[in-house]
Amino acid sequence: MNIIFDWEQRKLYEVADYRNGKAHEQHIYIHGNYIVVNSKFVSTSGEAKKYSDKLIEPLMKNEIAFVLSDVPNGKALARTFLVKRSQKYTLNQRVAGITPHPNMNSYFLFILMNRNPYFLKFDDGVGQTNLSKKDVEQFNENYPTKREQQKIGEIFVKLDSLLTLQHQRLSKLNEIKKSLLQQMFI
Protein backbone atom coordinates (compact mmCIF):
# COMPACT_ATOMS: atom_id res chain seq x y z
CA MET A 1 0.00 0.00 0.00
CA ASN A 2 1.48 3.31 -1.07
CA ILE A 3 0.41 6.37 0.87
CA ILE A 4 1.33 9.76 -0.50
CA PHE A 5 1.52 12.44 2.15
CA ASP A 6 0.85 16.02 1.11
CA TRP A 7 2.18 17.49 4.30
CA GLU A 8 2.02 21.27 4.49
CA GLN A 9 3.92 23.32 7.01
CA ARG A 10 1.64 25.81 8.76
CA LYS A 11 1.46 27.83 11.93
CA LEU A 12 -1.26 27.04 14.44
CA TYR A 13 -3.20 30.24 13.73
CA GLU A 14 -3.64 28.98 10.14
CA VAL A 15 -5.30 25.72 11.25
CA ALA A 16 -7.09 26.69 14.47
CA ASP A 17 -8.47 29.61 16.46
CA TYR A 18 -7.10 30.53 19.88
CA ARG A 19 -8.84 32.08 22.88
CA ASN A 20 -7.96 32.53 26.54
CA GLY A 21 -9.97 31.19 29.45
CA LYS A 22 -11.47 33.46 32.09
CA ALA A 23 -11.29 33.61 35.88
CA HIS A 24 -13.77 31.44 37.74
CA GLU A 25 -12.64 31.92 41.34
CA GLN A 26 -15.87 33.71 42.33
CA HIS A 27 -17.96 30.85 40.95
CA ILE A 28 -16.24 27.68 42.24
CA TYR A 29 -18.47 25.30 44.20
CA ILE A 30 -18.32 21.73 45.51
CA HIS A 31 -21.22 20.91 43.22
CA GLY A 32 -22.00 22.84 40.09
CA ASN A 33 -23.43 22.32 36.67
CA TYR A 34 -20.15 22.82 34.80
CA ILE A 35 -16.65 21.39 35.13
CA VAL A 36 -13.95 24.08 35.33
CA VAL A 37 -11.14 23.20 32.96
CA ASN A 38 -8.00 24.35 34.74
CA SER A 39 -4.40 23.11 34.53
CA LYS A 40 -4.90 20.48 37.23
CA PHE A 41 -7.98 19.09 35.47
CA VAL A 42 -6.07 18.83 32.16
CA SER A 43 -2.88 17.40 33.70
CA THR A 44 -4.86 14.67 35.53
CA SER A 45 -6.86 13.78 32.40
CA GLY A 46 -10.04 15.01 34.05
CA GLU A 47 -9.60 13.27 37.42
CA ALA A 48 -9.21 16.44 39.56
CA LYS A 49 -12.42 18.43 39.21
CA LYS A 50 -13.75 21.78 40.33
CA TYR A 51 -17.24 22.94 39.49
CA SER A 52 -18.90 26.21 38.61
CA ASP A 53 -22.50 27.31 38.58
CA LYS A 54 -21.81 29.54 35.57
CA LEU A 55 -20.71 28.70 32.05
CA ILE A 56 -18.33 31.67 31.78
CA GLU A 57 -16.18 30.51 28.86
CA PRO A 58 -17.85 27.44 27.31
CA LEU A 59 -15.89 24.73 25.56
CA MET A 60 -17.60 22.95 22.71
CA LYS A 61 -17.25 19.40 21.46
CA ASN A 62 -13.94 18.79 19.59
CA GLU A 63 -12.25 21.87 21.02
CA ILE A 64 -8.92 21.46 22.78
CA ALA A 65 -8.02 22.86 26.19
CA PHE A 66 -4.30 23.70 26.31
CA VAL A 67 -2.34 24.49 29.51
CA LEU A 68 -0.38 27.75 29.25
CA SER A 69 1.26 28.04 32.66
CA ASP A 70 3.22 25.78 35.00
CA VAL A 71 5.93 25.73 37.65
CA PRO A 72 9.54 25.05 36.55
CA ASN A 73 9.92 21.56 35.07
CA GLY A 74 6.25 20.90 35.75
CA LYS A 75 4.18 18.20 34.11
CA ALA A 76 1.15 20.33 33.21
CA LEU A 77 2.67 22.77 30.71
CA ALA A 78 1.40 22.19 27.17
CA ARG A 79 -0.92 19.34 28.17
CA THR A 80 -4.08 19.02 26.12
CA PHE A 81 -7.64 17.90 26.82
CA LEU A 82 -10.05 17.06 24.01
CA VAL A 83 -13.63 18.10 24.75
CA LYS A 84 -16.07 15.29 24.03
CA ARG A 85 -19.32 17.05 24.92
CA SER A 86 -20.60 20.63 24.56
CA GLN A 87 -22.14 22.64 27.40
CA LYS A 88 -20.30 20.64 30.08
CA TYR A 89 -16.97 22.46 30.46
CA THR A 90 -16.00 26.04 31.17
CA LEU A 91 -12.47 27.28 30.38
CA ASN A 92 -10.45 28.76 33.26
CA GLN A 93 -7.66 31.33 33.04
CA ARG A 94 -4.14 30.18 32.11
CA VAL A 95 -5.69 27.57 29.85
CA ALA A 96 -6.30 28.27 26.16
CA GLY A 97 -9.19 27.06 24.06
CA ILE A 98 -8.07 25.81 20.65
CA THR A 99 -10.79 25.47 18.00
CA PRO A 100 -9.60 23.48 14.97
CA HIS A 101 -10.67 24.79 11.58
CA PRO A 102 -12.98 22.56 9.51
CA ASN A 103 -10.04 21.11 7.53
CA MET A 104 -8.40 19.86 10.76
CA ASN A 105 -9.09 16.69 12.69
CA SER A 106 -9.37 17.68 16.35
CA TYR A 107 -7.98 14.39 17.68
CA PHE A 108 -4.92 14.70 15.43
CA LEU A 109 -4.27 18.26 16.66
CA PHE A 110 -4.90 17.20 20.27
CA ILE A 111 -2.16 14.52 19.95
CA LEU A 112 0.21 16.76 18.00
CA MET A 113 0.09 19.63 20.51
CA ASN A 114 0.20 17.54 23.70
CA ARG A 115 3.56 18.19 25.43
CA ASN A 116 5.12 19.05 22.08
CA PRO A 117 8.85 19.87 22.41
CA TYR A 118 8.22 23.26 20.76
CA PHE A 119 6.19 24.37 23.79
CA LEU A 120 8.40 22.68 26.37
CA LYS A 121 11.46 24.63 25.19
CA PHE A 122 9.93 27.75 26.78
CA ASP A 123 10.42 26.14 30.23
CA ASP A 124 13.85 27.29 31.43
CA GLY A 125 13.65 25.18 34.62
CA VAL A 126 13.97 28.29 36.80
CA GLY A 127 10.85 30.45 36.81
CA GLN A 128 7.20 29.73 36.18
CA THR A 129 6.56 29.28 32.47
CA ASN A 130 3.75 31.27 30.88
CA LEU A 131 3.11 30.65 27.21
CA SER A 132 1.71 33.68 25.42
CA LYS A 133 -0.92 33.71 22.70
CA LYS A 134 1.86 34.54 20.23
CA ASP A 135 3.99 31.58 21.44
CA VAL A 136 1.09 29.21 20.85
CA GLU A 137 -0.09 30.67 17.55
CA GLN A 138 3.47 30.52 16.14
CA PHE A 139 3.59 26.73 16.67
CA ASN A 140 4.83 25.62 13.26
CA GLU A 141 4.19 22.04 12.20
CA ASN A 142 3.59 19.87 9.16
CA TYR A 143 -0.02 18.85 8.57
CA PRO A 144 -1.33 16.15 6.23
CA THR A 145 -4.75 16.25 4.59
CA LYS A 146 -7.77 15.87 6.85
CA ARG A 147 -8.34 12.31 5.62
CA GLU A 148 -4.78 11.36 6.60
CA GLN A 149 -5.19 13.16 9.94
CA GLN A 150 -8.27 11.01 10.59
CA LYS A 151 -6.36 7.82 9.75
CA ILE A 152 -3.46 8.80 12.01
CA GLY A 153 -5.95 9.73 14.75
CA GLU A 154 -7.64 6.32 14.44
CA ILE A 155 -4.30 4.60 14.98
CA PHE A 156 -3.67 6.63 18.13
CA VAL A 157 -7.19 5.96 19.43
CA LYS A 158 -6.51 2.23 19.06
CA LEU A 159 -3.12 2.57 20.77
CA ASP A 160 -4.68 4.56 23.63
CA SER A 161 -7.32 1.84 24.05
CA LEU A 162 -4.68 -0.88 24.11
CA LEU A 163 -2.59 1.04 26.65
CA THR A 164 -5.64 1.57 28.87
CA LEU A 165 -6.51 -2.11 28.67
CA GLN A 166 -2.94 -3.14 29.52
CA HIS A 167 -2.86 -0.68 32.42
CA GLN A 168 -6.08 -2.17 33.78
CA ARG A 169 -4.65 -5.68 33.46
CA LEU A 170 -1.46 -4.61 35.23
CA SER A 171 -3.49 -3.05 38.06
CA LYS A 172 -5.48 -6.28 38.49
CA LEU A 173 -2.30 -8.37 38.52
CA ASN A 174 -0.76 -6.07 41.13
CA GLU A 175 -3.87 -6.48 43.29
CA ILE A 176 -3.63 -10.28 42.97
CA LYS A 177 0.07 -10.15 43.86
CA LYS A 178 -0.65 -7.96 46.88
CA SER A 179 -3.40 -10.31 48.04
CA LEU A 180 -1.18 -13.39 47.62
CA LEU A 181 1.64 -11.76 49.56
CA GLN A 182 -0.72 -10.87 52.38
CA GLN A 183 -2.05 -14.42 52.51
CA MET A 184 1.43 -15.88 52.37
CA PHE A 185 2.59 -14.00 55.48
CA ILE A 186 -0.48 -14.52 57.67
- Pair 55, 121 in one domain: yes
In this structure, is residue 77 part of a structural domain? yes
- Pair 154, 138 in one domain: no
- Pair 22, 88 in one domain: yes
Q: What is the mean pLDDT of residues 47-66?
A: 95
- Pair 166, 103 in one domain: no
Would you give the DSSP letter of residue 31? S
Give the pLDDT confidence score for residue 68 in this predicted structure.
Answer: 98
- Pair 90, 34 in one domain: yes
pLDDT band of residue 180 (cuts 50, 70, 90) is confident
In this structure, is residue 122 part of a structural domain? yes
In 10 A of CB 158, how many CB atoms? 10
- Pair 70, 34 in one domain: yes
Give the pLDDT confidence score for residue 91 in this predicted structure.
Answer: 96
- Pair 159, 135 in one domain: no
For the ranges 35-39, 107-111, 159-163, which has the lowest average pLDDT?
A: 159-163
pLDDT band of residue 119 (cuts 50, 70, 90) is very high
Record the pTM: 0.84
Alpha carbons 151 and 108: distance in angstroms, whole number: 9
In this structure, is residue 5 part of a structural domain? no
Chain length of the chain = 186
Distances (CA, A) of 36 to 29, 54, 74, 115: 10, 10, 20, 21
In 10 A of CB 16, how many CB atoms? 23
In this structure, is residue 1 part of a structural domain? no
Q: Which residues contact 184 (CB under 8 A, 6 or more apart)?
A: none
In this structure, is residue 17 part of a structural domain? yes
In 10 A of CB 8, how many CB atoms? 12
**Number of structural domains in the chain:** 2
pLDDT digits (tens, 9 = 90+) for 59-76: 999 999 999 999 999 999
- Pair 26, 80 in one domain: yes
Alpha carbons 143 and 27: distance in angstroms, whole number: 39
- Pair 64, 17 in one domain: yes
In this structure, is residue 49 part of a structural domain? yes
- CATH number, domain of 133, equals 3.90.220.20
- Pair 89, 38 in one domain: yes
- Pair 135, 156 in one domain: no
Give the residue numbers spanning the domain of 14: 10-142
Higher pLDDT: 185 or 83? It is 83
